[in-house]
Amino acid sequence: MADIVNLNHVRKAKQREEDKRRARERRVKWGRIKADRDRERLLDSKAEKLHEGHRREKPEQDNEE
């Protein structure tokens, strides 16, 4: 004879496992320490300044002065 299974329990257990998997993925993707975030921000701003420094023409608001 087959075991009786409550489908609500199975569905909820499956959802809990899916939530745990998503949480692990998000921790890997977003879980960085503050020093890493600051370093990335610094590198981004440095790259932006370098890119802006190579412009041939200045933006209109800079030419008005």
**Amino acid 62: pLDDT:** 58
Domain assignment present for 26? yes
What pLDDT digit, counting tens, does each position of 34-55 carry? 898 899 999 999 999 999 888 8
Domain assignment present for 28? yes
Helix (H) or strand (E) holding 49: helix 34-53
Domain assignment present for 59? no
Torsion over CA: 49, 51, 55, 60 (sign): negative
Could you say which DSSP state residue 6 is in?
Answer: -
Domain assignment present for 61? no
Domain assignment present for 58? no
What pLDDT digit, counting tens, does each position of 9-35 carry? 999 999 999 999 999 999 888 888 889
Domain, as residue range, for 48:
7-53
Over range 58-64, report the average pLDDT: 65
CA angle 10, 13, 18 (to 5 degrees): 125
